[in-house]
Every structure is written in C-alpha cells, then in structure tokens.
Copies of this chain bind each other. A is one copy, B any other.
Amino acid sequence: MPDPQWLSPEEQRAWVPLAALLFRLPSAFDSQLQRDEGLTFASYMVLAMLAELPSRTMRMSELAAATSTSQSRISRVAGGLERSGFLARSVDPRDGRAVLARLTDAGLAKVQAASAGHVRTVRAAVFDRLSPEQVGQLAAIGTSLIGEDWGEAIDSGRPAASQRRGT
C-alpha cells in the first residue's frame, strides 16, 4: 500500500468532489426545507422516520440512531417539533429512563405536505444527475461506508501509537 500519510491520485479524484458534496447537499436541503416549510433537514428526517412506522412512535435513542445524529441533537430537535405540535413525548411505561416520541396527526400532515418539495430537491440535486447504474453503485458505496463499526474505526484520528509526546 502507498503512503497512508496522504491520498493517492485516484483517491483525491474521489475525495475532492465528495468533500464538496458534504458541504453543499446539507445546505441545499436545509435551505429548501427552511424556506418552504420552516423545517430543518434534521427535523424533516425525524418526522419522516416516525411517519414510516405504523405506531408512529420511537424511543429518542432509536431516533438518534435512525437519523445518524447525536442524542443531544435529537433531544433539541424533538423539543422544537414538540413545541410546534408535530410530536409528543412521554416516558416509556416499560422503562422510566426512556422517552417515546410519537408523531401527532399534525406532524403526519406536516411531513406529507413537505415531502413533495423535499423529494423534488433530492431529485434535482442527486438522482436526476445519475445514470441508473450509478444509482446502484451509490447504494453499494453508501452501504459500505455506514457499515458495522463506526465510533471505533473513525474516531481513531490518533496516531497508531507514536507521535504522542507529553505525559
């Protein structure tokens, strides 16, 4: 393997556009949803995840995992959605530590109203620009990237066990 200290030319050809996407896509979705529905990309995802379940209910921690975000973030987003009347929180009767978030009828109506515009934006930004083959490749790539471990492998920004001076 080449110098793991830097990226190979092929990797850079993939890294540059990927980094650009990480800045652009979230901004694009956030601003469309904010402008048209007063929602954040994160808050929309929360509503969308809940809307997919027959029970419209999920524990806060499951919601965090489902949307790939931190618990503190989910807690605040849920707080805002609750204030807006789109979801209601209640302590889980089976485990007093857990909190269940349930989409209200108003919340369901909100996602349904917002989905069309959001999907249109997702298409314009992503799918309309890819061939069917690429959509398949993207699915495979994305799935590989979010696989199993995460905290462990990713968080290891620290040197393999050298360079670490000090105490």
Contacts and interface: CB of A to CB of B under 8 A. Distances in A.
Given A26-B22, A36-B157, A157-B36, A144 B129 contact: yes
A134 to B, nearest CB: 5
Contacts of A36: 157-158
Contacts of A31: 155
A131 B15 CA distance: 14
B21 A142 contact: yes
B140 A134 contact: yes
A54 interface: no
Interface stretch (A81-89, A90-98, A100-108, A116-124): A116-124
A14 B137 CA distance: 8
Q: Chain A's interface: helix, strand, loop or mixed, by majority? A: helix
Copy count, this protein chain: 2
B129 A67 contact: no
A137 B145 contact: no
A137 B134 contact: yes
Given A6-B115, A22-B22, A17 B127 contact: no
Interface in A1-50: 4-7, 10-11, 13-28, 31-33, 35-36, 41-42, 45
Interface of A: 4-7, 10-11, 13-28, 31-33, 35-36, 41-42, 45, 67-70, 115-130, 132, 134-147, 150, 153-159
